[in-house]
Amino acid sequence: MKLPPVQTELMKELKKTGRPLILVNMSGSVMSFDWESRNADAILQAWYGGQAAGDAITDVLFGDYNPAGRMPLTTYMNDEDLPDFEDYSMANRTYRYFKGDVRYPFGYGLSYTTFGYAPLQNASTVKTGESIQVTTIVTNTGKRAGDEVVQLYVSHPQNGNTRVPLRALKGFKRIHLDTGESRQVTFTLSPEELSLVDEKGNQVEKEGTVELYIGGGQPYKSEGSFGELKIEGEKYVVY
C-alpha cells in the first residue's frame, strides 16, 4: 500500500526546501501514507477525477472551494495489519470489524471550517418491528461557509455474536451551513437497520441496548454526539 519509493524520495527532497509540502494523490484505492502523513503539510486524495480534476484540485488548494469529501475506504497503517489475502472472512477487515489503529478511518474528511453537534434526541425505547427517529442540531462553528456530511452509526455492544460489527453506518446527509448557521438533522432507523444477522443467516431484531452516534465521521474519531436506545419486545424477523 506504499507509494513507489521514487515518489517518496522526491518528496523528501522537496521537504528539505522548507516550503509547504502538499501531496495530491491520484489513485484508485488508498495508500498507507506512512512518511507522507508525518511530513506533508496536507494530503489531498483526488482519486481519478476526470477532465475537470485539475480545476477542482486547484479550487481546493487555493481555498476557492471548501472541501467536504469523506473517505469511502479505510486507510490502514500497513499491510501487516490485514489478514492473509486468501482469508475470505470479514474478521479484522473494513471499518465494521477492524480492531486496530488506522491512519485515516472510513468516513474521515477535513474542512476549512468546523461543526458542532447538539445532544441526540430520541426515544429511550423502541418496540421490535417499529421504526424510530434520531435527531440532532448541527452548527457551523467556524469562520467559513461549508458542507458537513452528517453520519449516523449504530453499535450493538452487548451482543455476544463475534460476527456482529463493531459499528455500522446507517445513514448520512450532506448539508450546507453558513457561518454560525444551525440546522436540525433527523434520521429514521427502521427495524432492518436495528437488526443483526443470526447464525442461520436471518435478519433478526432482538431485545437489547443499542449505542447511537451522529457526527462528521466515526465514533471517537470526530466531533459528534452519543445516544442510547433500548429495544424491547419479542424477536422480530425482518427476512
| Distance from chain centroid for Cα 122 | 22
**Domains held by the chain: number:** 2
Q: Highest mean pLDDT: which of 62-76, 153-167, 214-228?
A: 62-76
Regarding whether 91 and 39 lie in a shared domain, the answer is yes
Regarding whether 216 and 127 lie in a shared domain, the answer is yes
Residues 184-204: tens digit of each pLDDT: 999 999 999 999 988 888 999
Residues 20-71: tens digit of each pLDDT: 999 999 999 889 999 999 999 999 999 998 999 999 999 999 999 999 999 9
Regarding whether 119 and 231 lie in a shared domain, the answer is yes
Neighbour-count burial for 140-173, b at 16+ CB within 10 Å, e otherwise: bebeeebbbbbbbbbbbeeeeeeebbbbeebbbe
Q: What is the CA radius of gyration of the chain?
A: 20
Write out the E strands in 75-129: 75-76, 102-104, 115-117, 125-127
179 closest CA partner among 119, 115, 109 = 115
Residue with cell 483526488: 46
Task: Give the residue from 104, 131, 151 where a domain finishes.
Answer: 104
Regarding whether 231 and 195 lie in a shared domain, the answer is yes
CA 36, 40, 46, 50 dihedral sign is negative
pLDDT band at 160 (very low <50, low <70, confident <90, very high): low
Task: Give the residue from 72, 104, 136 where a domain finishes.
Answer: 104
Is 109 contained in some domain? no
Q: Report d(CA 29, CA 74) in Å as an integer.
A: 10
| Parent domain of 59 | 5-104
Stretch (H or E) spanning 55: helix 53-61
> Above 80 in pLDDT, residue 159?
no
Tell me the whole-structure pTM to 2 decimals: 0.93
Cβ neighbourhood burial of 77 (10 Å; 0-12, 13-18, 19+): middle
